[in-house]
A and B are shown apart, each in its own frame.
Chain A
Amino acid sequence: MHTVLQQVINGLSLGSIYALLALGYTMVYGIIKLINFAHGDIYMLGAFWGYYVINTYHVDFIVALLSAMIVTALAGMIIEYLAYRPLRNSPRITALITAIGVSYFLENGMSYLFGANTRNFPQVVKQHNFTALGISISNIQVLILVTALILMILLQLIIQKTKMGTAMRAVAVDQEAAALVGINPDHVISFTFGLGSALAGAAGVLIGLYYNSIDPLMGMTPGIKAFVAAVVGGIGSVPGAAVGGFLIGLLETGVQAIGLSAYKDAAVYVVLILILIVLPAGLLGKNVKEKV
């Protein structure tokens, strides 16, 4: 029982990272039907920015987190503007391949500029472990969970309660009709990239704290797992991405706990395949009926 609870806590910590990343995938997909494969690399940029400001300016966790969110939001918006906007009316596959290109560009660009070696993320928050009832939870795990939950609540408020959120939901349903009621789709799409990238940046700083190590290729696997999480939850669905993220985190730690560490990535991909076969719309996916 203890082991199970312990693994649930570990799984939720890791899952909140995946959830933050999956939200960006799902929002961008919801609005322009693009699987933004460069999203995992935005997370890497966030982690590197955190590493840089903490080491250079000795800022605390909050400043590192917020500044990383701002920097990655800008990076996401610039990438959208330069790489995806010119392809707005191109076939979807063109944009998808461009996204893969952007991903390689960011990974190799960072390796080229700053070196491909792994570095230690500065431990700006001292780790303490609390033990209760035989279950151990670290303050960093609590920090990750609380930060992720706050960001998800904020995101939900933005989407449901603000003018921009309403515009986002309108553009997601029908971009042309939205334009004809006075919404500038380019602004909304740019904002969506900014919002999703900020969440990825936050996830990058959090994972730096959690795993202590970062490198330019760190975004690849979590990026793909977060994509799986978004698909599991139902791509395009915001609550679905959060749920999917936590599920994938729990699954991965669960597989490790039963001694199959070597297969933890494989388990995630098996889930992807199963979901695509059994429930292609995902757990909370919209029931899409193509109109003829």
Chain B
Amino acid sequence: MTTLLKVDHVSKIFGGLKAVEDVSMHVETGELVALIGPNGAGKTTLFNALTGVSPATEGTVAFRVGDEMVSLDKKKPYQVAKMGIARTFQNIRLFHQLSVRENLQAAMTHRYKEGFVSSILRLPAFAKQEALANKWTDEILAKLDLTDVADVITANLPYGTQRRIEIARAVATDPQLIFLDEPAAGMNPEETADLAHLIKRLQTEFGLTVVLIEHDMSLVMSLAERIYVLEHGKLIAEGTPSEIQHNDAVINAYLGGGVHA
């Protein structure tokens, strides 16, 4: 396996608060990795640092482009997205007044060129690009079972569907790596089961590398190949699901001292 993402000694400091402290981790191509930890452990802050939203105070992040590792440290969010990292949000942040199809197409703008003049005059070059974008969109819609709602304004759709659209929009950027920030939050068990199946498909069918932040432990344990545990901004454990389940530091972090599950 090759390393897709390498995080080296990353810290994020807000004033006097060390939200993330000296975190090093790596993600291999094709892996499904989970990042867990109690509320406020710094998981989303770490995602924000990795995607350029709120750059790390210290440390470096590198991402594989072809054969070399490229630093993400000075990259803006749109550049990170273009390089092949997509993400979803803890609280859904779709383009609410746009239809499902338009949400996906907004995520594809960097994937094709479209001349201003040719699009105004609707020249053949424009028609060709438009057909291509429509084809990509239709494929994703079909795979994520969203074809029926393609032209509905996303604000009018149920919560579970909006979650799926967010994943579809992330897929539309044509990423190699996808960060999912608590995708199961607010879902009932049935929806969570569907989601687990979808996340697995992202890895197998779409060929994506997945990093998952999640509180639903049954979901994490059944999906993740490797787990990182963050507490108070520091990594306290790393390992396979069974290793993590028996790790004393993790049990302490979640349940307080002296309890064994």
Contacts and interface: CB of A to CB of B under 8 A. Distances in A.
Interface of A: 154, 157-158, 161-164, 166-167, 169-170, 173-174, 176-185, 286
**A-side interface mostly:** helix
Contacts, number: 90
A173 B109 CA distance: 16
Given A173-B98, A174-B93, A174-B95, A183 B106 contact: yes
Contacts of A180: 51, 53, 77-78, 80-81, 86-87
Contact of B95 (A154, A157, A177): A177
Interface string B91-123: 001111110001101111111101010011000
Nearest to A188: B109
B172 interface: yes
Contacts of A174: 93, 95
B201 interface: no
Given A182-B173, A183-B106, A170 B95 contact: yes
B97 A163 contact: no
16 contacts: A162-B114, A162-B119, A163-B112, A163-B133, A164-B119, A166-B98, A167-B106, A169-B106, A173-B95, A179-B77, A180-B81, A181-B81, A182-B82, A183-B78, A184-B76, A185-B78
A37 B169 CA distance: 36
Interface residues of B, number: 37
A82 to B, nearest CB: 20
Given A166-B102, A181-B173, A176 B119 contact: no
Contacts of B102: 166, 169
Contacts of A182: 78, 81-82, 107-111, 173
A170 B169 CA distance: 12
A153 to B, nearest CB: 11
A167 B103 CA distance: 9
B89 interface: yes
A278 B89 CA distance: 37
B170 interface: yes
Interface centre among A157, A170, A174, A184 (most CB of B within 10 A): A170
A281 to B, nearest CB: 14
A181 B86 contact: yes
B91 to A, nearest CB: 8
A179 B172 CA distance: 14
A158 B106 contact: no
Nearest to B110: A182
Closest 6 A-B residue pairs measured CB to CB?
Answer: A181-B107, A170-B106, A182-B81, A182-B110, A179-B77, A173-B95
Interface in B149-171: 169-170
A169 B95 CA distance: 8
Contact of B109 (A176, A177, A183): A183
Interface centre among B97, B98, B106, B114 (most CB of A within 10 A): B106
A181 B106 contact: yes
